[in-house]
Amino acid sequence: MKPAHLHLSLRRVTVLLLVTALAGLLGSAVLGLPREPAGLTAQVAARLPDSGVEHAVTAVLLNFRGYDTWLELGVLLLALTGCLGVLQRRDLTGAEPPENPSELLTALVTILVPVMVLVAGYLLWLGKAAAGGAFQAGVILAAAWVLMWYGGRRGLASLSPAIWRGLAAAGLLGFLTVALLTLSIEGVLLGLPTPIAGTIILALELVATVSIGVTLAALIIAPQFGAPKAAGKG
């Protein structure tokens, strides 16, 4: 067996070389950027009226490149599946929130959670015209569930497994439905017809928000019950 220090230094040199190469690549990529902005801003601006929304970012995310958002929801679902797989759990059954949460937290939950749900809804609606949208709204929803959890309430885990798994998959399935419908009626995958594009986008964002919220909250809640009774061990 090799002496430990030699082994370490060899590894260090390799890591150093790899990091230097990566830094060089990144640097050359930045230096190679065109001086003029070469993006698709003009094209997006020109087609914005056809998108059904007024905000360019939402138009790109949910209409022009809805495909990417669809796959992102798939990635989230995969992450949740992977997390549950590693934990060898099928769902959140049996998950118990921390015992004896601080009174401050329990009081905060009753005040904050309704406001957070309201803010999530507002951000979802705002996505049509300004910065906001499904991901931001979904994260706030997830944060509300996590806060409830640490405040000693079962929240998400009190839903039946079939329901919360359905909610977690709703975003992906919603996109799938729209994709199949547009493909069979319009002949274009996710080619939203302009007159009802705004409504479809809002509906997609709604299911996506719920899915994102459920998935992210479950990612945090799921590992909790296998955990040793936290502070006591250590």
Q: Torsion angle of alpha carbons 115, 137, 82, 146, nearest 10°?
A: -10
Stretch that binds other proteins, among 102-110, 140-148, 172-180, 182-190 (CB under 8 A): 140-148
Query: On the CB side of 159, how many CA atoms lie within 13 Å of its CA?
Result: 16
Stretch that binds other proteins, among 27-35, 36-44, 67-75, 123-131 (CB under 8 A): 123-131
Interface with other proteins, residue 233, by CB under 8 A: yes
Interface with other proteins, residue 48, by CB under 8 A: no
Interface with other proteins, residue 223, by CB under 8 A: yes
Interface with other proteins, residue 79, by CB under 8 A: no
Stretch that binds other proteins, among 13-21, 45-53, 178-186, 221-229 (CB under 8 A): 221-229
Nearest to 207 by CA among 181, 162, 177, 231: 177
Q: How many CB atoms lie within 10 A of CB 19?
A: 10
Nearer to other proteins, 25 or 131 (CB): 131
Nearer to other proteins, 94 or 232 (CB): 232
Distance CA 170, CA 5 (A): 53
Nearer to other proteins, 162 or 230 (CB): 230
Interface with other proteins, residue 131, by CB under 8 A: yes
Interface with other proteins, residue 136, by CB under 8 A: yes
DSSP reduced 3-state for 81: helix
Interface with other proteins, residue 63, by CB under 8 A: no
Query: On the CB side of 147, how many CA atoms lie within 13 Å of its CA?
Result: 21
Phi, psi of 152, deg, nearest 5: 90, 15
Query: Closest distance between other proteins and the C-beta of residue 216, in Å?
Result: 6
Distance CA 201, CA 216 (A): 22
Distance CA 163, CA 167 (A): 6
Euclidean distance between the first and the last CA atom of the chain, given in angstroms as a whole number: 34
Task: Identify the residue among 57, 117, 179, 203 touching other proteins (CB under 8 A).
Answer: 57
Question: What letter would DSSP give residue 59?
Answer: I
Query: Would you say the C-alpha torsion 49, 55, 60, 63 has a positive or negative sign?
Result: negative
Task: Identify the residue among 48, 139, 179, 203 touching other proteins (CB under 8 A).
Answer: 139
Nearer to other proteins, 35 or 195 (CB): 35
Stretch that binds other proteins, among 10-18, 85-93, 186-194, 225-233 (CB under 8 A): 225-233
Q: Give me the residues that bind other proteins (CB under 8 A), please.
A: 57, 123, 130-133, 135-136, 139-140, 142-143, 146, 216, 219-220, 223, 227-228, 230, 233-234
